[in-house]
Structure 1
Amino acid sequence: MELADRTVGFLLSLISVSIFTYYTFWVIILPFVASDHFIHQYFLPQEYAILIPILAGVVLDCSLCMFVGYVMIKSEKKKA
């Protein structure tokens, strides 16, 4: 099981570093590159650089609130 845990941890770390690198390049470096450069075809429009994290945050907040509400309802039913 230890090998599986290490593999999953490595894959999660690799995915996280890849997303961080992509987003950093997209938001910080890409605005300074000429708009007709070929590299722009690999990135979404700049508007999505704000919309995607906001949407992810809203989904995360909603999921967290639903989980807390579920746990509160479950604990209330155990008391009764």
Structure 2
Amino acid sequence: MELADRSVGFLLSLTSISIFTYYTFWVIILPFVDDEHFIHKYFLPQEYAILIPVFAGVTLLCFLSVFFGVVKLKSKKKKA
């Protein structure tokens, strides 16, 4: 089981580092590169640099709110 945990941890770390590197390059470095440069075809338009994290944050808050609500409802049923 320890090998499986390490593999999953390594995969999650590699994914997180890849996403962080892509997003950092996309938001911080790419605006200073000429628009005609070939590197722009590998990245989404700049508008999505704000929309994607906002959508992810709102989705996360919705799921956390639903989870908290379900836990509160279950705890009330146990008390009664």
TM-score by length of 2: 0.99
Distance 2:40 2:73 in 1: 49
Spell out, residue by residue over 1:18-57, the C-alpha distance to the aligned partner (whole angstroms, 9 max, x if none).
0000000000000000000000000000000000000000
Q: Gaps (5+ residues) in structure 2?
A: none
CA RMSD of aligned residues (A): 0.3
In structure 2, the residue matched to 1:53 is: 53
Q: Gaps (5+ residues) in structure 1?
A: none
Distance 1:3 1:51 in 2: 37
Are positions 1:8 and 2:8 aligned together? yes
Q: Name the aligned partner's letter for residue 18 of structure 1.
A: S
Q: Name the aligned partner's letter for residue 71 of structure 2.
A: V
In structure 2, the residue matched to 1:31 is: 31
In structure 1, the residue matched to 2:21 is: 21
Distance 2:17 2:66 in 1: 29
Q: Name the aligned partner's letter for residue 51 of structure 2.
A: L
Shift of 1:2: 0.1
Distance 2:34 2:2 in 1: 48
Aligned length: 80
Distance 2:35 2:67 in 1: 44
TM-score by length of 1: 0.99
